[in-house]
Amino acid sequence: MNNLSENLDTVSARIKRACEGCGRAPTEVRLLAVSKRHSAERIRLAHSWGQPAFGENTVQEALTKQQQLADLALEWHFIGAIQSNKTRDIAEHFHWAQGVDREKLLLRLSKQRPVTLPPLNICLQVNIDAEPQKAGLLPEQVEPLARLALTLPGIHLRGLMAIPANQAQGGAAEASFRAVKELYDGLRERGIDLDTLSMGMSADMERAIAAGSTMVRVGTDIFGTRP
Ligand SMILES: *Cc1c(COP(=O)(O)O)cnc(C)c1O
């Protein structure tokens, strides 16, 4: 699990095979490399093997790495729970925020996004299995917040993000992923322009892709076990 280029090749091959298995084009699914807890040097190496987009879940750790990697054109995604006192850092230093689940966060990110930058790409996080301990909107709360997001400057609503309940055999059930996809399709049918369905991790990316994921967030199977 330490050969980064081999791991990236293996993950890309898994994505390709999963797409072929359900009649989708491999270009429909983006790979987000989740680099949390791994060093800036590992990110630099992954980038040298052609990986452009990285996900982090704590602001301080991400900002430190961004400084160390300032010479590279990387795409940074914030994928953690967002605290409202961190929205300014996220608005100023990331390209995407994927864990948005409250009106207050949307309003702050919109207001705090520097006008000199393109709009911040947003995914609303859905708690699809309604797990009490988990962040995210309940399905019925998504559409009102999506409609609000469309009216705000400085942000660009791209889609939904979900981390469905883990199953005993590893990863989430395909039924949960399908429920997120149905929600996503419903919003699109009702005129909300979305292009990103962020779901699937190391253990369950194939199931997520079969259900319609357009972005898998993979950490362990690229970088190895987190230190
Ligand atoms: C850590 C993390 C991942 C990656 O998980 P792996 O199992 O290491 O692939 C994906 N999404 C989110 C939101 C995470 O926090």
Pairing of strands 155-162, 196-198: parallel
* Cβ of 127 below 6 Å from ligand 1: no
Atom of ligand 1 nearest to the CA of 201: 9
* Cβ of 220 below 6 Å from ligand 1: yes
pLDDT interval class at 182 (50, 70, 90)? very high
CA 34 – ligand 1 centroid, Å: 6
Q: How far apart are CA 175 and CA 181, in angstroms?
A: 10
* Cβ of 149 below 6 Å from ligand 1: no
DSSP string of 78-131?
E-SPPPGGGHHHHHHH-SEEEEE-SHHHHHHHHHHS-TTSPPEEEEEEE-TT--
Q: Can you read off the two tokens belonging to residue 174?
A: 């395909």
Atom of ligand 1 nearest to the CA of 220: 8
* pLDDT at 2 (0 to 100): 61
Q: Is the dihedral of CA 193, 163, 49, 59 positive or negative?
A: positive
Pairing of strands 75-78, 96-100: parallel
Q: Which of 217, 218, 223, 225 to mutate to test the pocket of ligand 1 (most atoms within 8 A of CB)?
A: 217
Which whole number is the average pLDDT over 169-181? 90
* pLDDT at 168 (0 to 100): 74
CA 151 – ligand 1 centroid, Å: 30
DSSP string of 123-154?
EEEE-TT--TTS-SB-HHHHHHHHHHHHH-TT
Q: Flag whether pLDDT at 91 surpasses 90.
A: yes
* pLDDT at 83 (0 to 100): 96
Say which DSSP state 172 is in: B
Q: How far apart are CA 212 and CA 55, in angstroms?
A: 20
Q: List CB contacts of 55: < 8 A, sequence separation 6 or more.
A: 32, 33, 34, 35, 36, 77, 78, 79, 98, 217, 219
Nearest-CA residue for ligand 1 atom 7 is 202
* pLDDT at 1 (0 to 100): 44
Q: Can you read off the two tokens belonging to residue 51?
A: 């990986």
User: What angle do the packed helices 40-48 and 4-21 form, to 10 degrees?
Assistant: 60
Query: pLDDT tens digits, residue range 19-74?
Result: 999 999 999 999 999 999 999 999 999 999 999 999 999 999 999 999 999 999 99
Mean pLDDT, the chain, rounded, equals 96
Who has greater pLDDT, 193 or 1?
A: 193
Q: Flag whether pLDDT at 201 surpasses 80.
A: yes
Q: Flag whether pLDDT at 126 surpasses 50.
A: yes
CA 125 – ligand 1 centroid, Å: 14
Query: pLDDT tens digits, residue range 134-158?
Result: 999 999 999 999 999 999 999 999 9
Q: What's the angle, vertex CA 191, arms to CA 175 and CA 75, rounded to 5?
A: 70
